[in-house]
Amino acid sequence: MKESQEYIIENIRDALRNDSSDSDRLVDMIVSAPRIFIYGVGRSGLIAKAFAIRLVQMGLEVFFVGETVTPIVEEKHLVIIVSHTGETMSCVQTANIVRRVGARVISITSNDHSKLASASNLVIHLKPRKDEDRKKLAPLGTLFEDATMIYFDSIVAQLMQKLGQSEGSMRKRHAIWV
């Protein structure tokens, strides 16, 4: 277990070494969007949903693409799509469709030369190493998914500052279980 933990943490650190100006652009695009739509499938979708919850807790109008209560995407809206490969058919199709209506697309992917990246206004490239140890210590998309979760969580503080939010104001929008 310890070997796997150290491997995962080291690789996430490497994957998160991206251009901070891209992260600043992502934050600015989120803050300026009238509505934000999030999308991903499988485990990438679960990470995307977790980020959507944080954005809602900051008071933003956020929807997950494909849910029954999600409105249509319109011009000037922002769509954030998470896909490890950047080739997941539904992710690429979503990006192409929403770009045609004038929405902006941000992709989070490990493949900055993918179809999804080509259909995006901004690409956040999180690329964990691919080596033989990955197959036994962090199989499939584990490194990308973990890096994406930490990446999203790491920009929350910057978003809070720009939106004038605090932990207390976010707590007021936190789910209350009856």
Closest residue by Cα to residue 141 from 8, 13, 52, 14: 8
Q: Does residue 62 lie within any of the structural domains?
A: yes
The model's pLDDT over 37-71, given as tens digits with 9 standing for 90+, comes to 999 999 999 999 999 999 999 999 999 998 989 98
Residue 178 domain-assigned? no
> Tell me: the pLDDT tens digits for 115-156?
999 999 999 999 877 777 676 666 577 788 999 999 999 999
Domain of 135 in residue numbering reads as 2-169
CATH number of 27's domain: 3.40.50.10490
Confidence band (pLDDT; 50, 70, 90) for 83?
very high
pLDDT at 5: 86
132 is catalytic: no
Q: What is d(CA 103, CA 45) in angstroms, rounded to the nearest whole number?
A: 20
- 168 vs 118, residue with greater confidence: 118
Stretch 85-112: mean pLDDT: 95
What is the mean pLDDT of the segment spanning 86-96?
Answer: 96
Would you call 133 helix, strand, or coil by DSSP? helix
Whole-number pLDDT of residue 20: 74
Domains in the chain: how many in total?
A: 1
Sign for the CA dihedral angle at 152, 154, 159, 165 comes to positive
Q: Residue 176 falls within a domain, yes or no?
A: no
Instruction: Examine the pLDDT at 6 and tell me if it is beyond 90.
Output: no
Confidence class of residue 79 from pLDDT cuts 50, 70 and 90?
very high
Q: Which of 6, 74, 145, 167 is catalytic?
A: 145
Q: What is the DSSP letter of 124?
A: E
Q: Does any domain span residue 41? A: yes
Q: What global pTM score does this model have?
A: 0.91
What integer pLDDT is reported at residue 44 of this predicted model? 94
The percentage of the chain sitting over the pLDDT mark of 70, rounded to a whole number, equals 94
Q: Kindly report the average pLDDT of the chain as a whole number.
A: 89
